[in-house]
Amino acid sequence: MATTMTKLLTADDLLRLDSEGVRGELIRGVLHETMPAGYAHGKIVMNLGILLGLYIKPRRLGSLIASDSGVWLERDPDTVREPDIAYFSAAKIPLDAMDTGYAEVPPDLVVEITSPSTGWREAHDKALMWLSYGVGLVWVVQLDTRTVDVYQPDRAVVTLDEHDTLAGRDVLPGFTCAVSEVFGT
């Protein structure tokens, strides 16, 4: 009986593939291609990215990255995931750092946004995955219900609607915005 061995990819392979137009994440060495998520998804990434940036940048608190940046979470085999938005405090990654590879520490805050190809279950599982790597706060933005699920280690998930306020809690103290602003209303 013949068996086929699949060659596991590395984070360096993923960077090379990106330069060839292949977009995706690496999960324990296996490529999982990703596709553009659509207008609503992109609008929410920008809305929330601007709101966070206007708070973080003038205070020199840290850095924000977008989904195509990638975070290297495991080695041998390599895992590189791409959050829709991630915040790294200046204590984790200095403000002047300009590494051309992937971030090699888990973010402080991750935002995941559902899309037509990413439903609630996958977003929930990804939020739990981020927490397992030490992320202190995860927001899952639900497009269909216009809500935000807030995940923190050792706490119950809290769902906020457009009448509620989203807060940075212990991870980004002082940051708040109306959930409605995330959706651009």
pLDDT tens-digit map of 148-162: 999 999 999 999 999
Do 139 and 112 contact (CB within 8 A), yes or no? yes
Residues of the domain holding 143: 35-182
Contact of 111 with 84, CB cutoff 8 Å: yes
What's the total number of domains in the chain? Answer: 1
Which pLDDT band, with edges at 50, 70 and 90, does 164 fall under?
very high
Distance CA 23, CA 31 (A): 9
**Residue 44: inside a domain:** yes
Residue 78: inside a domain: yes
**Both tokens of residue 36?**
């553009």
Is 9 inside a domain boundary? no
Whether 26 is in a domain gets the answer: no
Average of pLDDT values for 102-126? 89
Range list of H helices, 30-168? 39-59, 120-132
* CATH code of residue 144: 3.90.1570.10
Contact 101, 91 (CB under 8 A): no
Residue 4 lies in a domain: no
Q: Look up residue 150 and give its two tokens.
A: 């807030």
Q: How would residue 19 be classed by pLDDT, with cut points 50, 70 and 90?
A: confident
Assigned domain for 16 exists: no
Given a cut of 70, is residue 56 above it in pLDDT?
A: yes
Q: Has residue 3 been placed in a domain?
A: no
The pLDDT-based confidence of 21 (bands split at 50, 70, 90) is: confident
pLDDT tens for each residue of 115-141: 777 778 888 999 999 999 999 999 999
What is the model's pTM? Answer: 0.91
Q: Which position has the higher pLDDT, 185 or 85? A: 85
